[in-house]
Amino acid sequence: MSSIEPPEGSRADCLLSIHQSRLAELFLQLPQPLKDLARSKRAFRDFQPETDLYSSRDPAASPWLFWETFSCLEDDTFLQLAGAGAVLYLSSIVLDHLVDGHLVESGATALLYKALYDRGVSTLQDNFPRTSEFWAHFERLNAEHLSGLAAEVEARTKPEVFTRENMIVMAQGKVCPGVMTIAAMAEASGQQDVLRPVEKSLKNLAVASQLIDDVQDWESDVEVGHLTYFLACLVPVDDWVAGERPSIEELQQRINDQWIDVDHWREAMYWHDRAIELMHDIFCPTWTDHVHDKRTLADKHREVAIARHLTRELRHFAPKQATHRSINLSAEPKKSSTRVPRMDAVLDEAVRSALEAVLTSQSDDGSWVDFDLPTVGASDAWVTAHVGLKLATLPELWSNDSLGDALEAAAKFLYVKWHHGWGYNDSAPVDADSTAHALLMLNATGSKPPTSTIDALLSFQYSDGGFATYTPFRSRSMPQNWLVSHPDVTPIVVRALAPYSTDPRVADAINRAMRRMDTDRLSDGTWPSFWWKLRWYTASAWVNAAISIKEPLSSIHWHAGRELNAEWTTDLDAAHLLECSMNIGRIDIAEQVAQHLLRNQLEDGSWLRAPVLRQPKPGVHQPWNAPDDEICYADVSGVYSTATILSAIAKWMSYKSGDS
């Protein structure tokens, strides 16, 4: 069944035809001036409806989209409630345009609104006694509708109040008259329990639709001086109030620089997803298909916007003979501009072999894929961000065309996977760790991360200053111990936020997070890890975070009474210790660890995989103290470990050659 047209000759189709005839008859009964106004497009200013008001079939107001849920109603009851809902919804459209100033004949328009509203209420009164619970919902929805319109009026006179929250209130308020139809049918059919999820689904779709309208109509909105949330993200409020609005060309440049259109398309898809999820337990395929269709269309627009931005961003890349699949590691690596590096043959071969193993494992779409968890499968976005970061921060002497092509492809992949942040994969919610790694990787390659990524990361900060992997807002179904600050995630986020510390909000977030460096430290001088069964992962992360914010490394040194105990659990753990010991000046330990890693490298350039990615059980907040309450997984492809170890050895080689 189409989301608008039922199968020809079906019961739903027959009822829809009767419904349309009754609406047309209703408008014929209006006084002539109101009838003319309802039919006339000339009465509208800056708004040209595609059809006459009385033939409007706005899907948001159509009970036929919920046919499977309410087809149990008798024909006459269904038609009466559908008719009442339709005229109430149409009256809300008239009121909306009256408030917008779209209608020229305001006096006649007010009368048309009252005629439609009174007719709808009268029909509902014929079906529900005043003692019915329906009227409580009616009054509530009516109040929400008026609140949304009031918020819109206030935003027009006080642009500074045009926030995301107010946009949501406005959008959800506009659909409330349509929800009245659902409330009536739920009450009449004895299915009161479906009202809440259906109402929320309708409201979420309304927000998605508002975001899309704002993106698609922004130029015409600028021309008529109509402020929207999209424009509020582009134009400083003071400029809008003072009338010093940028030109359309200037605004287009801001969109090009900040990718705000992509942000809005993705947020629209987020609201589409919420609308679909809410209907999970209700059999209503027509509505679900309708929302899916809208989401698919939004996704296509998003892809077009990303492609347009990427084309512009990548113009500065010179054409290359080889693609990122063509790997040439036989060419000499770049030499230092100040000296010829003293190459160690063993280190040189180890780095070459490992780099080839990582580059050849890259997928055609630019991703690297590894791990394979029973609950969510393999990771692409998170692993790509991590591997890309390790490759992007290799010493300059290892730069070549093959590496550059691989990083360019990985950056494109991450742009496509962005959804107000990044997650483990498409099946998992956005998380702070994946988002921080992606932000680090994009910045390391000179790419422009979406502007709202910083706000997304800040939203993960917990009350104790640390950063949680997930947030309740995005991940309500996650165990509670996954929604609190984690000692191994916090330093990664600090490092990712460091380049933005001129922003007072970011500076404050970093200052609060840095307190965790001392608070989380264990008695042996290391730091625990929630997600990793590794001794040195978090220590290495804190060292890198301190370097990124120019924190004196003396605060991390293992001083008297806290001597560094150079023990590691796996080759991956050894790589973190190697990088950590180099950065704090413990070259004796670095030499020992590097020799171990060189001895353990496999013939294919990789290293042994080990089950070190921990999945703590619900309720376990300190899994490092509860080894029996954890399940650990290995990187089955070995690309995660190999990229990490490769990075550490390459930096050690650069250090030994005197090129660091």
pLDDT of 347: 81
Residue 645 sits in the same domain as residue 512 = yes
**What are the structure tokens assigned to 531, written together?**
């997600």
- Is the pLDDT at 335 greater than 90? The verdict is no
Residue 454 sits in the same domain as residue 356 = yes
End residue of a domain, out of 269, 290, 312: 312
578-632 confidence digits (pLDDT tens): 999 888 888 889 999 999 999 999 999 999 999 999 999 888 999 999 877 778 9
Residue 371 sits in the same domain as residue 420 = yes
- Is the pLDDT at 634 greater than 90? The verdict is yes
CA distance 655 to 582: 8
CA distance 370 to 361: 10
pLDDT of 3: 45
**Helices 381-392 and 401-417: angle between axes, nearest 10 degrees:** 150
For residue 54, give the nearest of 39, 42, 32 by alpha carbon: 39
Average pLDDT rounded to a whole number, residues 411-436? 91
DSSP string, 2-35: -SSSPPTTSHHHHHHHHHHHHHHHHHHTS-HHHH
The confidence band for 237, taking pLDDT boundaries of 50, 70 and 90, is low
Q: Are 53 and 43 in contact (CB under 8 A)?
A: no
- Structural domain contains residue 68: no
Residue 352 sits in the same domain as residue 461 = yes
The confidence band for 329, taking pLDDT boundaries of 50, 70 and 90, is very low
DSSP string, 115-151: HHHHHHHHHHHHHS-TTSTHHHHHHHHHHHHHHHHHH
Supply the mean pLDDT for the chain.
Answer: 83
- Structural domain contains residue 22: no
Instruction: Indicate the SS3 state at residue 378.
Output: strand
Residue 364 sits in the same domain as residue 237 = no
26-30, 68-72, 335-339, 580-584: least confident range: 335-339
pLDDT of 129: 95
Domain count of the fold of the chain: 2
467, β-bridge pairs: 461
Residue 570 sits in the same domain as residue 623 = yes
- Structural domain contains residue 303: yes
CA distance 67 to 288: 12
pLDDT of 35: 67
pLDDT of 227: 82
pLDDT of 163: 80
- Structural domain contains residue 72: no
CA distances from 456 to 127, 476, 485, 637 (A): 48, 17, 15, 30
- Is the pLDDT at 394 greater than 60? The verdict is yes
The confidence band for 2, taking pLDDT boundaries of 50, 70 and 90, is very low
24-33, 334-343, 509-518, 590-599: least confident range: 334-343
Which amino acid, residue 58? D
- Is the pLDDT at 156 greater than 90? The verdict is no
pLDDT of 104: 55
Could you identify the residue written with the tokens 């104790």? 464
pLDDT of 45: 40
Which amino acid, residue 407? L
Residue 300 sits in the same domain as residue 349 = no
pLDDT of 38: 63
274-285 confidence digits (pLDDT tens): 898 888 888 888
The confidence band for 154, taking pLDDT boundaries of 50, 70 and 90, is confident
- Is the pLDDT at 563 greater than 60? The verdict is no
CA distance 96 to 87: 14
**What are the structure tokens assigned to 133, written together?**
């619970």
- Structural domain contains residue 212: yes
Q: Are 516 and 487 in contact (CB under 8 A)?
A: yes
pLDDT of 39: 61
Q: Please state the three-class secondary structure of 306-325 as a single string.
A: HHHHHHHHHHHCCCCCCCCC
Chain CA centroid to CA 404, Å = 27
- Is the pLDDT at 493 greater than 50? The verdict is yes
Alpha helix segments (H runs only) across 189-259: 195-216, 218-224, 229-234, 237-242, 248-258
CA distance 263 to 250: 19
- Structural domain contains residue 180: no
- Is the pLDDT at 264 greater than 90? The verdict is no
Query: What percentage of the chain's residues is helix, strand, coil (to nearest 5)?
Result: 60, 5, 35
Does pTM surpass 0.85? no
End residue of a domain, out of 254, 288, 312: 312
**H or E segment and range at residue 365:** none
Residue 572 sits in the same domain as residue 497 = yes
The confidence band for 4, taking pLDDT boundaries of 50, 70 and 90, is low
pLDDT of 565: 64
pLDDT of 367: 96
Which amino acid, residue 408? E
Alpha helix segments (H runs only) across 51-130: 67-70, 75-100, 106-127
454-465 confidence digits (pLDDT tens): 988 999 999 899
pLDDT of 243: 64
Residue 566 sits in the same domain as residue 634 = yes
CA distance 522 to 531: 16
Residue 636 sits in the same domain as residue 489 = yes
- Structural domain contains residue 121: no
125-139, 266-280, 464-478, 552-566: least confident range: 552-566
33-37, 96-100, 394-398: least confident range: 33-37
For residue 159, give the nearest of 241, 230, 100, 219 by alpha carbon: 241
Residue 415 sits in the same domain as residue 536 = yes
The confidence band for 99, taking pLDDT boundaries of 50, 70 and 90, is confident
> Domain range for residue 264?
194-312
CA distance 577 to 541: 10
For residue 576, give the nearest of 443, 365, 390, 300 by alpha carbon: 390
Q: Are 444 and 389 in contact (CB under 8 A)?
A: yes
Task: Supply the CATH number for residue 605's domain.
Answer: 1.50.10.20
Could you identify the residue written with the tokens 């609140």? 147
CA distance 19 to 64: 11
- Is the pLDDT at 169 greater than 80? The verdict is yes
Instruction: Indicate the SS3 state at residue 467.
Output: strand
pLDDT of 127: 95
Q: Are 205 and 275 in contact (CB under 8 A)?
A: yes
Residue 522 sits in the same domain as residue 394 = yes
% pLDDT > 90, the chain: 45
pLDDT of 105: 62
- Structural domain contains residue 590: yes
- Is the pLDDT at 244 greater than 80? The verdict is no
- Is the pLDDT at 498 greater than 80? The verdict is yes
pLDDT of 558: 53
